[in-house]
Chain A
């Protein structure tokens, strides 16, 4: 199970709270998922914020606020400061978006914001790409967790660069890694865990499923299966067939 900034979490599934058909379905999906961490955000107060907070508090999970929608270092840092006060946690999922269509992180601004926030006492969970050098710079900036994307946010495409994600896992064997964004199916989540990732953060795959509660359970099972498979040291794939049934003792007919 993952350990983030010295805190052990009981589940490798981190679940977002956005876009569910109803608050009741959100709560039921969380129960079905067994998720130990819920991502949340801050938005202009227009009446619903306090009810939403009561709902999240009752889930009994740890809260990871995000800086979603921020495009500059200043916006992200200010949002993080506000989130720390409201949610009473040093944890921040740091998003600094570089491109409105792809929602791709701006790695340069991300590293700068991560450094500022770490020096200010935050424990930063950066939403990043799988680029090895960006990830090295994030670690140098003080990040003790990395959250590379699987695919663009909300796309449901899965792991677009499995090679890159595997290379990152090998490059930083002792840094907790989370695939954040792009998961659409339980098989995608299982694949991330099979690569040796510590956790998976997803939202739309559950919230936008026809039956979010059932999908939440499916994700939990897939993540458990993927983690077990990684621990079991899978066989090597190969191009040619190898008979599994012994040839010795075969009858001559």
Chain B
């Protein structure tokens, strides 16, 4: 299915948030949101992806 990850369209075979993080190669300290809602780390494995979903994968960054 096609989903957007951090604003870029991807064709993925994964069907959950946890699986798509692995498929796309994300590791380390991360937080996820799907279609604007926070997905806690503990719920990633059971949160399904749907066609056209928008996944945000955020990491620590500099800030003021």
Q: Is the interface of A mostly helix, strand, loop or mixed?
A: mixed
B64 touches A45 (CB 8 A): no
A17 touches B63 (CB 8 A): yes
B61 touches A40 (CB 8 A): yes
Please name all residues of chain B whose beta carbon is closer than 8 Å to the beta carbon of A66 when the two chains form the complex.
63-64
- For chain A residues 27-80, which have a beta carbon within 8 Å of chain B? 39-46, 48-50, 52-53, 56, 65-66, 68, 74-75, 78
Q: Give CA–CA (A67, B9) in the complex, Å.
A: 25
Q: Give CA–CA (A156, B61) in the complex, Å.
A: 23
Please name all residues of chain B whose beta carbon is closer than 8 Å to the beta carbon of A204 when the two chains form the complex.
64
B60 touches A42 (CB 8 A): yes
Question: In whole Å, how far is A119's beta carbon from the nearest beta carbon of chain B?
Answer: 15
A44 touches B62 (CB 8 A): no
Please name all residues of chain B whose beta carbon is closer than 8 Å to the beta carbon of A26 when the two chains form the complex.
62
B64 touches A83 (CB 8 A): no
A53 touches B28 (CB 8 A): yes
A86 touches B63 (CB 8 A): no
B58 touches A82 (CB 8 A): yes
Chain B residue at minimal CB-CB distance from A69: B63
Known: A42-B58, A45-B57. A65 touches B36 (CB 8 A): no
Please name all residues of chain B whose beta carbon is closer than 8 Å to the beta carbon of A65 when the two chains form the complex.
63
**Considering residues A19, A39, A52, which has the most beta carbons from chain B within 10 angstroms of its beta carbon?**
A52
Please name all residues of chain A whose beta carbon is closer than 8 Å to the beta carbon of B33 when the two chains form the complex.
78, 82
B interface residues (Cβ-Cβ under 8 A, vs A): 6-7, 26-33, 36-38, 40-41, 56-64
A interface residues (Cβ-Cβ under 8 A, vs B): 16-20, 26, 39-46, 48-50, 52-53, 56, 65-66, 68, 74-75, 78, 81-83, 85-87, 153-154, 181, 203-204
User: Could you give 14 example pairs across A and B, Cβ below 8 Å?
Assistant: A18-B63, A19-B64, A40-B61, A43-B59, A45-B28, A49-B29, A49-B59, A50-B60, A53-B29, A78-B37, A78-B38, A81-B38, A82-B32, A85-B38
